[in-house]
Structure formats: structure tokens, C-alpha cells
Structure 1
Amino acid sequence: MSVFTTHTVETAPAAARATIEGIGHRFGWLPTPVALLAESPELLAGFLAANTGFEQTDLAPLEREVVAFVVATTNECPVTVALHTGTLARLDASPELVTALRAGTALPEPRLEALRRFTLAVLAHRGAVPDAGLDDFLAAGYQPRHALDVVLGIGAYTMSTVANRLTRAPLDPPLAAYAWTPAA
């Protein structure tokens, strides 16, 4: 049983209406997770602001997807995994990369694998990454600012994945081809 309302532009709190209307136009449909987040215009705005900031970081699009996938698979959020699988398809990511990200296993590209391991370390150590983990990340060619960019991505996707799980956001039909379930 869910106590959360799947809002429309008409039923959403006034502070969320323009936002969800814009998202609906961008996607061609109003994603149910967004309709659910609209219950808290502040959370919706906070996620979108954090996500916009993350998209503007110095991390490349595939690198940002690695961070999003690590958070999504760690937090076992099928909606986020499916949405970002679609993003990887638009980015023409290799099937091997997509499979590894969805499985939470080592990535075929060493630089992206270093990013994956670093993101996992930030999560596991709540930021207190051991020196060896930070050294490995920097040795892969990343800069200190990238470590902080990872923190921003973790923050953004923690908001969305936790909210998606709390609201029990379903997978929208346009994402059905990218459905994912956590490994048992």
C-alpha cells in the first residue's frame, strides 16, 4: 500500500506544477517517479538542482553514468537503473559496459573501473576513503575536483533512488525494455 499520490499537473502542489509540466514535455510523458516526487516540491527541486549541477561537472557523460549506476545498483532502484540504461543506449555505450554496470561488476575500461571503485569506496566509507582508494582514483587520471564531483553525483542520485524506493515508484512503460531487478 502506498500513501503517496501520483500527481498530474492539475493535482500537484502549485510549487511543483511548472516543473512537472516541463519534465513531461521533455520526456514526452510524465515519469511516474517525478509525479510522485511532486508531493514535495522542495525535494523535486533539490534533486533537479543537484542533478543539473552534476551534469555540469567536469566528468564526461559516460563517467556521470557510472556514478549514477553505482548509486542506483547499490540502492537497488530499478527505476533509476532502467532510466540510465536508456541513457547509455543513447550514448552508444558498449554492450559490455552496459552489462557490467547493470550487474555491478568490474567495467571493461580501466579508467571507468577506477571511477566505479572510487564511487563504491565513497559510499562504503561515507566519504572517508582510504588513501589507497584515492591514490588509485587519481592514478587513473582523475583530478581532486573529480572526487568532489562524484560526491555531488552520489548526493543527487541518493535523493532520487531513496525517494523512488520509498514511494515504490513503478517502471513506466517507455522504460520496460530496460527493466532490471537486483541480484538475489
Structure 2
Amino acid sequence: MFVDHTLESAPAASRRAMEGTVRHLGHLSPAVARMAASPHALEGFLKMSALFESTTLDPVAREVVVMTVATRNACALCVDMHTAKLRGLGAAEELIGELRAGSPLSDERLDAVREFTLAVYATAGAVPDAGLEAFLSHGYTRQNALEVVLGIGTYTVSTFANRLTGASH
């Protein structure tokens, strides 16, 4: 069983990252509190997350990647956290509902992101040319394709850690 670490109970090497999370979110999420058991996993996820947030994919497209990973990997905590993030971005409730259900998206351009994310997972990155071309045909770039891979890696770490530690319930 994993414990919800506090700033006082966490390994010393996790505390700086935890403090940064509290400053950023205003609270310590159960995911961070439990991932703090491994300073390396926590810092790795937070660094990867910051890198993903700085990509050229627009914020809603990034959230499509995250929600696609979260629903695929059955991380309820991630779905809830990123639902709130989508609402903060002003995303339509229809889009949020579709993402939460793991359904095709009414917005064809955003659905191209969802489909590409699923194709990367299904093929372990060996997406057929037609799959990449379908993604690119919606105005995305090869750089964006690699940014989707970064997002998948980032949120695979998060969803797997949350499920392992029991934070995803």
C-alpha cells in the first residue's frame, strides 16, 4: 500500500517538487502525494509534463492526448483532473463528454489527435503512413506527431503510477 505523503513525511528529495506542485495547483494532489515515494518518478513526471505543456500543440489538443491516454488506461483521477482543466480552457461540454466516454469527437481536427494517439499506442509507434498522413491532413505537423508521442509517454507514466499507487480511484 502506498501512503499519501505530506511535505513532512515524504523523502527529502521529493519535497521540492511537492512544494512546486502546491504552488502551481494550490494543493497536493493524491497522485503527487503517492508518487512522492519515488523522487525520481515524481521529478521525471513533472519535468515531462512541463515539457509537454510547452509543445506547439495547442492546449486543447494537448488535453485530447491526455484524456485519450487517461481513458485508455482507466485512470479515473486523471480523467477528473483533466476534465477540470478542459473546463478551465473553455472547452465545450460536448467535447468533454466525448473524451470522457472515449468516443470519437465531433470536432474532426481534434478527433485526428485522438485517433493518432490511439494509433501510436496500437502500433507501439509504428503508425502506418496512412495514419500519419491522416493526422497531418488536419493541419498538424511532424513535430506535432512527435509531441503526441511525448504526451503519451508523460501520461503513461502518470496513469500507470496512479493505478499502481491506488491514486486513480
- SS at 1:107 equivalent: coil
Tell me what 1:103 maps to: 101
Aligned to 2:124: 126
Identical aligned pairs, as a percentage? Answer: 53
Of 24, 39, 59, the match for 2:37: 39
For residues 86 and 104 of structure 2, the distance between their equivalents in structure 1, rounded to whole angstroms, comes to: 17
Mapped partners of 1:69, 1:22: distance in 2: 23
**Counterpart in the other structure of 2:92:** 94
Deviation of 1:66 after TM superposition, in Å, equals 0.3
Unmatched runs of 5 consecutive residues or more in structure 2 = none
Map 1:33-182 → 2, pairs under 5 A: 33-169=31-167
CA shift, 1:27, in A, is 2.0
1:13 alignment partner, one of 7, 11, 24: 11
SS at match of 1:7: coil
1:182 is aligned to: none
Q: Name the structure 2 match of 1:181.
A: none
Q: What runs of 5+ residues in structure 1 fail to find an aligned partner?
A: 172-184
Query: Whole-Å Cα distance in 1 between the matches of residues 102 and 24 of structure 2?
Result: 29
Instruction: Kindly tell me the number of residue pairs found equivalent between the two proteins.
Output: 169
- State the Cα RMSD in Å: 1.0
How many angstroms does 1:28 deviate by? 2.1
Q: Deviations over 1:47-72 (max 9, x none)?
A: 01111110011000000000000100
1:11-52 alpha-carbon deviations (Å, 9 max, x no partner): 110111121122123222211110000000000000011111
2:24 maps to a residue whose letter is R
Q: What amino acid is aligned across from residue 164 of structure 1 in structure 2?
A: N
* Deviating 4+ runs (over 6 angstroms): none
Partner AA of 1:38 in structure 2: A
Matched, 1:26 2:24: yes
Give the Å deviation of 1:6. 1.2
Scaled by the length of structure 1, the TM-score of the pair is 0.89
How far 1:170 sits from its partner (Å)?
A: 5.1
Deviation at 1:4, TM superposition (A): 1.2
Distance 1:50 1:28 in 2: 20
